[in-house]
Amino acid sequence: MRYRKTLKEAISFEGIGLHTGERSRIILKPSGGNGYSFNFTKSTFSLAHASFSGDGRGTVLHFPGGIRLGTVEHLLAALRGCGVDDVEICVEKGIEVPSLDGSARSYVDLLNRTGFLEKNEYVKPLTISFPVGVDLEEQGSSIFAFPSSSFRITYVIDYENRMIGTQMKSVEVTPETFLNEIAPARTFALEEDMDSLRQKGLARGGDLSNAILVREGEVLTEGGLRFKDEFVRHKILDLIGDLAILDGPPCFHVVCFRGGHSLHLRLARKLIRKKVITL
C-alpha cells in the first residue's frame, strides 16, 4: 500500500487545443480533498458530477450547466500515470485541454519537476472480483478487465495502413513505466481522414508538432517516431486517461483489441453501472 499523493505546489499549462485550435490554460493545484476536482471560475465539480463521451478522437467531460472540457485524456493519463490521487484542475481559459506535443510527456516532466506531497491516508485501489468486458463482434473490437494484483494493460491494434499494421504491447502501469514507455507516445491520424475531421470541426489545432500524420508508405512528424510501436503505446496512454474517469487507481488487467475512446468509455460505464468496482 502507499499514501495518497497530491502536488507540492501549483503548476500551469498553456497551449492550443488539438481540435478547437483555440488557446487554453489549465492550472493544477494541490488538493486537500479526495480525487480530481474541476474548477471553472464560478463552479467546482468532482468527477462524480461529470458525464463523459468519446468518439475515437478524444474524450469530453460534461458538467452541470452545459459546462464541458474536451480532450482530457492526456492530462488525466499523466496524473494517473504519475500516481497523483488528489488535485484541483482549474480551467482558466478555453474548453479543451492544451495538446502540447500530442503526448503526455510535457505534463509528466513538469509534474515530476514540481514534486508530490504524501498525505497521511492510504490509497484504496479500485479492484474487481470477476471479469467485466464489452465485445463488439460485428466491429471486431473488444475490451475486458480481469482481476489482478496490479494495474496492467495489454493492447492490440490492427490497421490496414502498412505503416501502422498490427502492434501489441503489454505493460504494468507504474510511474516508472508510464514515464519511460507510455507518456512520450503521441496522438496520430491518417492523412485520408483529415478532410473529414476538419469538416466536422475537429483537428483544427493539429500539425506535425503535436501529432503523427500517417500516409500510405510514410510517417510525417517532427523528429520521426519516438518508438517503433508508438501507435499502440499512444492507445495505452489514451486508455489510462479514459479509465482515470473512474477517479481512483485501477488494480486490474485490461485487455483491449482494436479499441478507441468510445470502447474505453463503454468499459468504464459498465464498471460503474454494474458496481463491480470495490474499494
Q: Closest Cα partner for 178 from 78, 252, 109?
A: 78
Per the DSSP assignment, residues forming a β-bridge with 72 are none
* All cell numbers assigned to 241: 486517461
Q: Closest Cα partner for 39 from 67, 14, 58?
A: 67
Question: What are the φ and ψ backbone dihedral angles of 59, each rounded to 5 degrees?
Answer: -115, 135
Question: What are the φ and ψ backbone dihedral angles of 102, each rounded to 5 degrees?
Answer: 85, 0
Residues taking part in catalysis: 261
Concatenated DSSP letters of 163-227: TT-EEEEEEE--HHHIIIIITTPPPEEEGGGHHHHHHTT--TT--TTT-EEEETTEEE-TT--SS
Cell numbers 489510462 correspond to what residue?
A: 240
* All cell numbers assigned to 122: 492510504
CB neighbour list of residue 73: distance below 8 Å, 6 or more residues apart: 58, 59, 237, 238, 241, 242, 261
Alpha-carbon span 118 to 121, nearest angstrom: 8
Q: Closest Cα partner for 256 from 154, 171, 169?
A: 154
Rama region for 95: left / alpha / beta (φ>0; ψ in -120 to 50; rest): alpha
Residue length of the chain: 279
